[in-house]
Amino acid sequence: MTPTVLTPILDWLDLAGIALFALSGAVLAARLKQTFVTMAFFALVTGVGGGTVRDLLIRAPVFWIDDPWVAAVCLATALIAWFTPVRWWDGKSMAYADGAGLAAYAAIGSAKALAYGIPPIPAALMGIITGCVGGIIRDVVAGRPSIIMSPELYVTPAALTAVLTVAGMSVAQLLGISNQWAWALGFVCGFALRSAAIRWEWGLPSYGDKEGA
The C-alpha atoms of residue 141 and residue 148 are separated, in whole angstroms, by 15
Closest CA to 30 of 15, 20, 40: 40
The segments of the chain whose pLDDT lies below 50 read 1, 212-213
Closest CA to 11 of 62, 67, 53: 67
Is the pTM value of this prediction over 0.75? Answer: yes
The C-alpha atoms of residue 142 and residue 1 are separated, in whole angstroms, by 39
Helix (H, G, I), strand (E, B) or coil at 152: strand
Helical spans, DSSP H, in the chain: 8-31, 36-57, 70-82, 93-115, 120-142, 155-175, 180-200
Q: How far apart are the first and last CA of the chain?
A: 54
Beta carbons of 51 and 63 less than 8 angstroms apart: yes
CA 106-112-116 angle, to 5 degrees, is 145
Q: What is the DSSP letter of 35?
A: -
Beta carbons of 126 and 35 less than 8 angstroms apart: no
Residue 144: C-alpha distances to residues 20, 54, 189 (Å): 20, 24, 29
HSE of 203, CA atoms in CB hemisphere, 13 A: 11
Supply the pLDDT for residue 1. 44
The C-alpha atoms of residue 135 and residue 64 are separated, in whole angstroms, by 17
